[in-house]
Structure 1
Amino acid sequence: MFLTFPLIILLFMSQIYLSLGTGNSTEAYDPSITLDLSDLKSKDFYLNNFTISDPLTKIFILNLNDNTSFFVLQIHAYLGTVALSHTEKLEPLKHVNGSNIGIYWGKNMESVGRPITFYVRRLNPVQDAINIMLAVHTYEKSDPVPGGCNLSFEMENAPYQIVTYDHNLITSEAQPPSLYEYNKKCDENNITTELFYMQLPMDHINEDEYFNALKTMLTKEDILHYGTKVSNDLNHPQFKQFYNIYRGRGYVFGIVSTYKNRSSVYVPSISFGCDITDWDTNCVGYGGHQVWAITYSFLIISGITSVLSGHWFVKISIGFSWFNLGTVITFILFVLNYDKLTIEEKLIFSLVVGALLAIFIVFLHYKFERPKIYISISGSHMLSGGLLASVIAGIFHPLSNSTFWYVFGGVSLSSVLLLFIGFPVGHIISHTFVGGYALMSGIAMFNGGHIQYLYINVYRRLIADNYVSAVAGLSFTWSIFFEYIGWLVLIIVGFCLQFMMSRNRNLYRKGYASVHSIS
């Protein structure tokens, strides 16, 4: 009895200590974001930025306007991927993954109480915390439901876009809208949907620029103000659009659906056609592969040589011309007909073929100069014709493939014939025209320029199935303007210099002064 009483006291004190603890033993940490929408009208817009660092974060939406029939919650994550869902566990048809995603909620949904709860789960984060931009669009019953007539996306209602890309094109795809008040009427609902895009004229990206770009395409008013409507001349599916990739350039995609003067917007998406988590390697410059750096360096060297002395150092200029021509043709044939090698491996093989072809043509010219002279110089003429055709035919991008290639072929052949007829002045023009472009392209590929896409876009038309339906043009920037001014200056300076150097000079042996000199 004497020992029992102290033991009871000790047990009682221990229970008190365990129950008090440090305040964390009986209450678990529950990360959450609470959105009070009491200040929003029945059709309105909310926007804010947050940082999430936990694997799972709850979003509570409070005080929704009684006249709001549905809303779209959207999340945009910078350098990270998240999953947004109705349920705590990721269940089929109740969640969506991505960096620019959204989820629909409507009063016609079953078993939904207040507060309305959503769940954000981090997926493969690049850093410890992910910065997100969170927006809510509230709508009334007369407004179209973006993505309400879903045919293939994971969610039953899909107000978001799915954006993918390959080496050539970015693809943005969405689902048709529906009418909320007519129980998801999809056939002949008379909803007008328009696709918009905004090009980002930047060669770098950071968090502020990323979110600011998306903000410009969040509302109908901003989309109409900042965006460019996708032309109806492009023969593309109604809810699927293609965009040409330019390294270092991005697009923001917006969609507006309208029914009887009532509008709603889809979740905007952004893409640079590359993985921006490693910007310097994937999105700008030469892509981190040394073979590209070597190729661009050779373009610069051959460009300088052709501009300054292409008509003077005959065999060198012939070698450069046929090397470039052989490399381009081999690379295109490889890409069109052989898929087992990487792009870099195809380029290496094409460079080897181009070098062998150049050596062979120079040998022919050296050994049999008179009968082979026009074969020798035709390399630079064909490059010039193709380049001029790329400039002119590129203006008619929306034309069908057959019409485009008729224009391209006609311009190319006409240019080659005129250059032959105008020899030797045509030969100088050919070298300065192609050499100036090669020089500017090599520089542009190192510093993020875009003049090289004159040729690249023609190549893409050959290999990309949907290129004819793609948005291909670049928005105007001063850097692009000065690239073309630089090309023009090189042509003029190179022509004047080589013309003066060639006056009354016999550039070819064995009595060809009458053909190859300028008097």
Structure 2
Amino acid sequence: MTFSEHVQISVIALYSDNITGSVIVEYVIFSCWNKTENVNMLIGMILSLLCIGPVAADIAVDLSRYYPDGNPLYKGYYATAVDRTKITFSNIAQDIGFLVVQVHTQFENVTLSNSSKIVYGSYVSGTNLGLVWSSSATTATFYLLRNIKVGNEVQFLLAVTVYDEYAPYQVISYTNDYLTVKSQPASAYGVSCDANSIKIEMFQYYFNHYDSDSQTYFDGIEKMLTVEGIRNHSRLVGKDIGYRKHNRMFSNYRGRGRVFVVVASYKGRSAAYVPAVSYGCDALNWRDDCVEFSSEFWKVSRTFLLILGGLLCFQGHKMFRLTMFLIGFIIGILITFVVLSVEHATHNGYGLISLVIGVFYGIFWLFVWWKFGVPLLSVQLSLILSGGLIASIAFYQLGDYNVFASDLNYWLTFACIIMAYMIVGVAAMVYGHIISCALIGSYAVTAAISYYIDGNMEFIFVDFFRRVVVKDFGYAVLNPPFLIFTDTFLCILWGLLFVTGIIAQLRHQRSRSPFPPNRNVSLERPLSETTPLLYSETYPTPPEYSQDP
């Protein structure tokens, strides 16, 4: 399909609202996509009332040195304090099929228009904007309008990508709850919405630092402006299952800024669409909204997680009764967390309730050991919890395979991993319990440290938790972030804690009974002729008998 044959000027409307954490891209194709006409007309009338003030701070760009095959990208940083800025592109080569004119701001919503007057189909609004221009003219004029001012001056990246005559179509949308990409089936000219002739690929790129720094933001945008840069720096997104291939979900890692972009290929040529950025949160309210569980309650909870995780890792089997309480406590928290999350309670609300109920679970499981004293029964929760952690680790990396989009396949495999671990753990009960304590404790310590250094270890649990409570989350693309230095350090630390925890517990277990005696059973143990005269720690002190006068 050629732009010159189809329509002279088409519009890619990409709304990227970092204030609400949502990004919406709309490709206005009048022949195939006209459901938003009334909304766009309403926005146009509102914006026309806002277009006041003289044209100032003109920007002139010479495109004579830019062409599709050799030098396709122009980019420049600008700042403006006026309401309206005129942008003029000159010396456009005759053999250029179309231009994608992009404007990227970090926080402030602006409007990009190809007309001095705001009319329907001629403008886009947001923080990541793009207009497609196709004409035989050698000059093009655009206008940048400031809608809601965040500061006295707005900094923006102006980028122009030149392409030849072939161009595919795509529609992208994002929501605030979890990131969503909606794509319209591409079509070739003369065939209405033919989805087979054009190949659509989705890519995403995570920022190198987890902050709202403007330099990090613009560096990420620059890497995703051309097809070559996209393929070199970003990850290809998979999991396009059936009818959902044009409606993709992404697991939202709050505060982890990332860039999404679509590459469409047709007859051996590829075109990159306007990159869209989302932090998955309110970037202007970074500390309160972009940092997971940042309240004082959760900070104290993570400190306790660090301490209790260390006890489990190095003293779990030795302090058997404390371990029984902690394992029951953790299981109680998880169950309550899931139930309350389905009821849509607030984080702080269900966090406090989960802690209280978790204490009762811990006391109950400790009572089970005190009453019955059966090691085979008491270690089951430890084996289940550690088996679930192993399964969560596996699906953290393997969850994007299409076969696991089915809840049946996912949970059946998840249960099989837990059962396999339990069978091995029961066969060597002491070693199984020691390994379980070391695994759970080392992960708890690492996850707590990850929070303080902006790592990603906690997302192993978060993605499992979302799979339980979020509807259709099996279709979400996980593709978790990984910081080379921070997360590599955390992985090494986790491994060292796990190994040293096992060694420390095995050394302490030498020449000791496999499990400590149960107090209720030991007090009822009758004395016999074989009872040692010298009592050890495993036998209770004999009762004192008074002599009759």
Once residues 174 and 125 of structure 1 are traced to their aligned partners in structure 2, the CA distance between those partners, rounded to angstroms, is 31
What is the match of residue 508 of structure 1?
Answer: 517
Q: Deviations over 1:180-230 (max 9, x none)?
A: xx4795336712222222233423342222111111111122122223222
Choose from 298, 307, 313 the match for 1:307. 313
**SS across alignment from 2:373:** helix
Q: CA deviation at 1:68?
A: 3.4
2:313, 2:501 within 8 Å by CA — same for their partners in 1? yes
Q: CA RMSD in A?
A: 3.1
Q: Which amino acid aligns with 2:333?
A: T
What is the match of residue 385 of structure 1?
Answer: 387
Q: Deviations over 1:81-123 (max 9, x none)?
A: 2122234555444332221111123339xxxx98643222223
User: Which sits farther off after the overlay, 403-412 or 189-198?
Assistant: 189-198
What is the match of residue 7 of structure 2?
Answer: none
After superposition, residues 35-434 of structure 1 pair within 5 angstroms as 35-41=61-67, 44-88=72-116, 90-107=118-135, 116-140=140-164, 142-147=165-170, 161-166=172-177, 169-179=178-188, 182=189, 185-187=192-194, 190-231=197-238, 237-284=244-291, 286-336=292-342, 338-339=343-344, 341-366=345-370, 368-370=371-373, 374-397=376-399, 398=401, 399=404, 400-434=406-440
Once residues 395 and 201 of structure 1 are traced to their aligned partners in structure 2, the CA distance between those partners, rounded to angstroms, is 20
1:42, 1:66 within 8 Å by CA — same for their partners in 2? no
Once residues 380 and 197 of structure 1 are traced to their aligned partners in structure 2, the CA distance between those partners, rounded to angstroms, is 38
Q: Which amino acid aligns with 2:180?
A: T
Once residues 512 and 85 of structure 1 are traced to their aligned partners in structure 2, the CA distance between those partners, rounded to angstroms, is 83
What is the match of residue 8 of structure 1?
Answer: none
1:146, 1:264 within 8 Å by CA — same for their partners in 2? no
What is the match of residue 153 of structure 1?
Answer: none
Q: For structure 1, list consecutive stretches of 5 or more residues without a partner in the other structure.
A: 1-26, 151-160
Q: Which amino acid aligns with 2:155?
A: N
**SS across alignment from 1:490:** helix
Q: CA deviation at 1:244?
A: 2.6
- After superposition, the Cα gap between the structure-2 partners of 1:99 and 1:489, relative to the gap in structure 1 and judged at 3 Å, is same
**SS across alignment from 1:128:** coil
What is the match of residue 5 of structure 2?
Answer: none
1:235, 1:469 within 8 Å by CA — same for their partners in 2? no
Q: Establish whether residue 499 from structure 1 lines up as the match of residue 506 from structure 2.
A: yes
Q: CA deviation at 1:297?
A: 1.9
Q: CA deviation at 1:317?
A: 1.5
Q: For structure 2, list consecutive stretches of 5 or more residues without a partner in the other structure.
A: 1-52, 526-536, 539-549
Q: CA deviation at 1:473?
A: 3.1
Q: CA deviation at 1:405?
A: 1.0
- After superposition, the Cα gap between the structure-2 partners of 1:312 and 1:230, relative to the gap in structure 1 and judged at 3 Å, is same
- After superposition, the Cα gap between the structure-2 partners of 1:395 and 1:187, relative to the gap in structure 1 and judged at 3 Å, is closer
2:102, 2:158 within 8 Å by CA — same for their partners in 1? yes
**SS across alignment from 1:388:** helix
**SS across alignment from 2:444:** helix
Q: Which amino acid aligns with 1:71?
A: L
Q: Deviations over 1:232-288 (max 9, x none)?
A: 66567344433333355332222222222233221011223223334344334x442
Q: Deviations over 1:497-519 (max 9, x none)?
A: 222223333532456799x99xx
Q: CA deviation at 1:378?
A: 2.9
Once residues 174 and 378 of structure 2 are traced to their aligned partners in structure 1, the CA distance between those partners, rounded to angstroms, is 47
User: Which sits farther off after the overlay, 251-260 or 116-125?
Assistant: 116-125
Q: Deviations over 1:282-308 (max 9, x none)?
A: 334x44222322322221121011112
What is the match of residue 3 of structure 1?
Answer: none
1:144, 1:178 within 8 Å by CA — same for their partners in 2? no
**SS across alignment from 2:197:** coil
Q: Which amino acid aligns with 1:459?
A: F
Q: Deviations over 1:125-156 (max 9, x none)?
A: 3322111111122334x311544xx6xxxxxx
Q: Deviations over 1:418-473 (max 9, x none)?
A: 32332222222221111111111111122212222222221122233343333323
- After superposition, the Cα gap between the structure-2 partners of 1:139 and 1:237, relative to the gap in structure 1 and judged at 3 Å, is same
2:168, 2:265 within 8 Å by CA — same for their partners in 1? no
Once residues 146 and 133 of structure 1 are traced to their aligned partners in structure 2, the CA distance between those partners, rounded to angstroms, is 24
User: Which sits farther off after the overlay, 438-447 or 84-93?
Assistant: 84-93
- After superposition, the Cα gap between the structure-2 partners of 1:226 and 1:418, relative to the gap in structure 1 and judged at 3 Å, is same
Once residues 184 and 32 of structure 1 are traced to their aligned partners in structure 2, the CA distance between those partners, rounded to angstroms, is 41
Once residues 117 and 349 of structure 2 are traced to their aligned partners in structure 1, the CA distance between those partners, rounded to angstroms, is 44
Once residues 45 and 497 of structure 1 are traced to their aligned partners in structure 2, the CA distance between those partners, rounded to angstroms, is 59
Q: CA deviation at 1:375?
A: 4.5
Q: CA deviation at 1:56?
A: 2.5
- After superposition, the Cα gap between the structure-2 partners of 1:264 and 1:185, relative to the gap in structure 1 and judged at 3 Å, is farther
Q: CA deviation at 1:395?
A: 4.5
The total of aligned residue pairs comes to 464
- After superposition, the Cα gap between the structure-2 partners of 1:162 and 1:97, relative to the gap in structure 1 and judged at 3 Å, is farther
1:440, 1:487 within 8 Å by CA — same for their partners in 2? yes
- After superposition, the Cα gap between the structure-2 partners of 1:277 and 1:128, relative to the gap in structure 1 and judged at 3 Å, is same
Q: CA deviation at 1:75?
A: 0.7
Once residues 138 and 307 of structure 2 are traced to their aligned partners in structure 1, the CA distance between those partners, rounded to angstroms, is 69
- After superposition, the Cα gap between the structure-2 partners of 1:38 and 1:392, relative to the gap in structure 1 and judged at 3 Å, is closer
- After superposition, the Cα gap between the structure-2 partners of 1:91 and 1:376, relative to the gap in structure 1 and judged at 3 Å, is farther
Once residues 173 and 122 of structure 1 are traced to their aligned partners in structure 2, the CA distance between those partners, rounded to angstroms, is 28
Q: CA deviation at 1:42?
A: 7.2
What is the match of residue 541 of structure 2?
Answer: none
User: Which sits farther off after the overlay, 444-453 or 227-236?
Assistant: 227-236
**SS across alignment from 1:162:** coil
Choose from 442, 464, 487 the match for 1:436. 442
After superposition, residues 446-457 of structure 1 pair within 5 angstroms as 446-457=452-463
Q: Which amino acid aligns with 1:223?
A: I
Q: Which amino acid aligns with 1:406?
A: L
1:42, 1:67 within 8 Å by CA — same for their partners in 2? no
**SS across alignment from 2:56:** coil
- After superposition, the Cα gap between the structure-2 partners of 1:447 and 1:188, relative to the gap in structure 1 and judged at 3 Å, is closer
Q: Which amino acid aligns with 2:373?
A: R
Q: Deviations over 1:156-197 (max 9, x none)?
A: xxxxx433342xx32233445455xx4795336712222222
User: Which sits farther off after the overlay, 419-428 or 40-49?
Assistant: 40-49
Once residues 282 and 503 of structure 2 are traced to their aligned partners in structure 1, the CA distance between those partners, rounded to angstroms, is 45
- After superposition, the Cα gap between the structure-2 partners of 1:236 and 1:165, relative to the gap in structure 1 and judged at 3 Å, is farther
- After superposition, the Cα gap between the structure-2 partners of 1:512 and 1:448, relative to the gap in structure 1 and judged at 3 Å, is farther
What is the match of residue 546 of structure 2?
Answer: none
TM, length-normalised to structure 1: 0.80
Q: Which amino acid aligns with 1:387?
A: L
TM, length-normalised to structure 2: 0.76
